């Protein structure tokens, strides 16, 4: 959670973590139902239950934003120097904010700063309801400041050092009211310190993985959940990003749970008995059930989420997305949804580089249409032979199906995909994770990765459309990559057209003559039938095919029954080729896209012409030079 960790501490570390998704999770209805744009680098959040508001600390913007959880809009801004940790004091109706070398106190009735308390470079804050005190971690000097909310003064300071009396960078912390204890994540010591709030002394140290950053208390289980980033190269056995579960009875770790990359913030959802974990370098939130301490869902959120808080009044979770890419926002995640989670599948689930996998989802039968879809992908990384992923939304992947087209430069490994669905009423849900394994080109991993076009297309779609104004368009690009538009005076209004498009990949039907194309070859099929009979000669079809591997050198050929026929092809960046052909030709017509092969004979003839031209110039230049020399010599003799 600590902003300086990214700026100062992590510059000296290798940012590597493990991210393993289970594909056996049950269906779970949850997702992002709102995104609130903010100033740069929001990094921590607090929920004000008295006002129904979220307070957001923006470190680099030098601002605290106040968001209404009713409208999900910013209702106030409070200037402040480098705000970081933030905590709500319900007894006083005040917000405490770690700001530079102070803890600033904000009245939630006026949204004005009413006090500044000097400490030692605060980072994390937590409110102790039993004592009416605020505990603040001073990250750089390894101390804890204890502040009375009655006087807004420091009443105690506590040193936290390791065995060599070095700083340990205390970060996030949590209050355990059942024990009257504060649990502190000690970043560099790979430890959680337990402090008694009656003596302000350390009563236990609990070893965890390297880089603990935040802690959340689960009141129903009497357990502490610790976000462990796991970035210590000097501790090779403690590199895994995980959440450690500590029993407050024994002060020992009872379970380690693998989550996303660099878990940073953590919050307890008392309404559902779940733990929400912001995975900073996966741009996701992991949801853990405290019943069995296992991940039950993963939700893509904004870019690089850090702080996270549960809003008990709305049953929502707010994440502060720091946004390394400049996408700075707060994501609002519902902890339940009226939408059922879509089931997603991939066919085939294993491909070679250059092949394609089709991802499809089950239909949404409830909710309020229309629905908005967004696919997210996680590129594969490996560390200690374990798969990892960092999720990003896929541009243009906003349909129920997605064509994962690979090339020879596609990363080899396990790719992860999640589909997010939102209905028009704002209900949101995310699917479970689907994996597609990409192997090196030519691996021939399985027969399903290279299906025969005549028996096993990679994808197919059929639509019925009604002609209007002598024209009809069918867009099946999300499934097969093909868009077909038909028009012409003989196309009568009201006519029903059945259009089927099929994508076969790179394998050519054996019964068709070989094509004279090279490069990224892809085979398709288009069929158009009419309810009124055969399509006339004066009906044209514009066929557009999208594929990331296509370039401005790609052309389309279609099979006319005896030979492959080339057609004038238009190219649109980044990878769409289009042709216009007679609609009568589209009767289950194979189509191929590729790059023309060079004609070796023509190439040699061209070289001969070039050599001839060069030789001609050379001879001409020689003759001119001789003549000039001769003429000049005659002039010199006569002078």
pLDDT in tens, 206-245: 999 889 999 999 999 999 999 998 864 344 445 578 999 9
Q: Give the per-residue pLDDT at 454.
A: 43
Cα(516)–Cα(203) distance, rounded to whole angstroms?
A: 78
- Those residues with Cβ within 8 angstroms of residue 638's Cβ, 6 or more apart along the chain or in another chain: none
Angle at 552 between CA 547 and CA 558, to 5 degrees: 65
Average pLDDT, the chain: 80
Q: What CA–CA distance (Å, rounded) separates 173 from 130? A: 16
Does residue 133 have a pLDDT over 90? yes
Residue 22: beta bridge partners? none
Give the pLDDT confidence score for residue 481 in this predicted structure.
84
**Mean pLDDT for the stretch of residues 21-49:** 73
Q: Which residue has the higher pLDDT, 129 or 600?
A: 129
Query: Is the pLDDT at 149 greater than 90, yes or no?
Result: yes
Q: Return the higher-pLDDT residue of 199 and 567.
A: 199
Q: What is the SS3 assignment for 433?
A: coil
3-323+332-336: CATH class = mainly beta
pLDDT of residue 29: 53
Name the architecture of domain 459-596: Sandwich (2.60)
DSSP calls for 185-219: EETTTTEEEEEETTTTEEEEEEE-SS-EEEEEEET
Q: Which of 75-89, 222-236, 328-342, 377-391 has the highest mean pLDDT?
A: 75-89
- For domain 347-449, give the fold: Immunoglobulin-like (2.60.40)
pLDDT attached to residue 448: 36
pLDDT over 90 (residue 5): no
- State the average pLDDT over residues 48-65: 96
Q: In this structure, are residues 313 and 52 in contact, taking their beta carbons and an 8 Å threshold?
A: yes
SS3 (DSSP) at 539 = coil
Of the listed ranges 84-98, 474-488, 491-505, 603-617, the one predicted with least confidence: 603-617
pTM above 0.85, yes or no: no
Q: What is the predicted pLDDT for the residue at 370?
A: 80
Euclidean distance between CA atoms 77 and 86, whole angstroms: 15
Question: What whole-number distance in Å separates Cα of residue 122 and Cα of residue 134?
Answer: 12
- Band (pLDDT 50/70/90 cuts) for residue 317 is very high
- Higher-confidence position of 434 and 338: 434
- Describe the strand order of the beta sheet including 122-128 as a list of residue ranges: 122-128, 133-138, 143-148, 153-159
Buried b (16+ CB within 10 A) or exposed e, 234-272: eeeebbbbbbbbbebeebebebebbbbbbbbbbbbbeeb
pLDDT score for 235 = 42
């Amino acid at each position: 959670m600590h902003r300086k960790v990214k700026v100062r501490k992590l510059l000296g570390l290798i940012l590597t973590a493990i991210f393993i998704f289970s594909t056996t999770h049950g269906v779970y209805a949850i997702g992002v139902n709102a995104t609130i744009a903010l100033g740069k680098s929001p990094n921590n959040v607090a929920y004000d239950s008295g006002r129904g508001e979220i307070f957001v600390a923006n470190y680099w913007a030098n601002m605290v934003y106040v968001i209404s959880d009713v409208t999900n809009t910013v209702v106030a801004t409070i200037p402040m120097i480098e705000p970081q940790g933030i905590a709500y004091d319900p007894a006083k109706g005040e917000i405490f904010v770690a700001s530079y070398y102070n803890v600033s106190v904000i009245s939630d009735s006026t949204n004005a700063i009413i006090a500044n308390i000097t400490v030692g470079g605060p980072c994390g804050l937590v409110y102790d309801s039993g004592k009416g005190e605020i505990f603040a971690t001073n990250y750089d000097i390894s101390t804890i400041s204890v502040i009375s909310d009655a006087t807004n003064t420091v009443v105690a300071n506590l040193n936290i050092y390791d065995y060599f009396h070095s700083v340990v960078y205390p970060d996030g912390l949590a209050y355990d009211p059942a024990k009257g204890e504060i649990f502190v994540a000690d970043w560099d010591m790979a430890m959680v310190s337990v402090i008694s709030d009656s003596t302000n002394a350390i009563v236990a140290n609990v070893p965890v993985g390297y880089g603990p950053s935040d802690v959340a208390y689960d009141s129903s289980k009497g357990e502490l959940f610790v976000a462990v980033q796991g970035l210590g190269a000097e501790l090779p056995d403690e590199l895994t990003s995980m959440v450690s579960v500590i029993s407050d009875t024994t002060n020992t770790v009872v379970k380690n749970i693998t989550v996303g990359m660099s878990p940073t913030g953590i919050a307890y959802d008392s309404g559902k008995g779940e733990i929400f974990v912001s995975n900073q370098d996966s741009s996701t939130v992991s949801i853990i059930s405290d019943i069995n301490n296992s991940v039950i869902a993963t939700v893509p959120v904004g870019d690089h989420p850090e702080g996270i808080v549960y809003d008990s009044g709305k049953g929502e979770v707010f994440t502060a997305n720091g946004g390394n890419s400049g996408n700075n926002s707060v994501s609002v995640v519902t902890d339940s949804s009226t939408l059922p989670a879509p089931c997603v599948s991939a066919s085939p689930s294993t491909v070679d580089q250059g092949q394609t996998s089709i991802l499809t989802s089950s239909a949404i039968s409830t909710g309020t249409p229309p629905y908005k879809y967004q696919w997210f992908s996680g590129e594969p990384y490996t560390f200690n032979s374990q798969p990892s992923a960092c999720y990003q939304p896929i541009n243009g992947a906003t349909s129920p199906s997605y064509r994962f087209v690979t090339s020879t430069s596609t990363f080899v490994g396990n790719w992860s995909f999640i589909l997010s669905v939102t209905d028009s009423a704002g209900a949101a849900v995310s699917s479970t994770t689907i994996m597609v394994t990409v192997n090196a080109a030519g691996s021939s991993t399985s027969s399903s990765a290279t299906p025969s076009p005549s028996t096993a297309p990679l994808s197919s779609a059929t639509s019925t459309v009604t002609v209007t104004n002598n024209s009809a368009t069918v867009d099946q690009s999300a499934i097969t990559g093909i868009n077909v538009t038909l028009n012409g005076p003989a196309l009568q209004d009201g006519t029903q057209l059945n259009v089927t498009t099929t994508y076969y990949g790179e394998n050519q039907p054996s019964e068709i003559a070989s094509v004279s194309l090279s490069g990224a070859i892809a085979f398709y099929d288009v069929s158009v039938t009419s309810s009124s009979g055969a399509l006339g000669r004066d009906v044209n079809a514009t066929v557009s095919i999208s594929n990331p591997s296509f370039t401005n050198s790609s052309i389309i050929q279609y099979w006319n029954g005896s030979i492959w026929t080339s057609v004038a092809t238009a190219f649109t960046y980044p990878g769409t080729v289009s042709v216009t052909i007679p609609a009568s030709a589209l009767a289950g017509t194979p189509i191929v896209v590729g790059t023309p092969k060079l004609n070796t004979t023509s190439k040699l003839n061209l070289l001969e012409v070039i050599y001839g031209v060069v030789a001609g110039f050379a001879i001409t230049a020689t003759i001119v030079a001789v003549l000039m020399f001769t003429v000049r010599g005659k002039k010199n003799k006569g002078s």
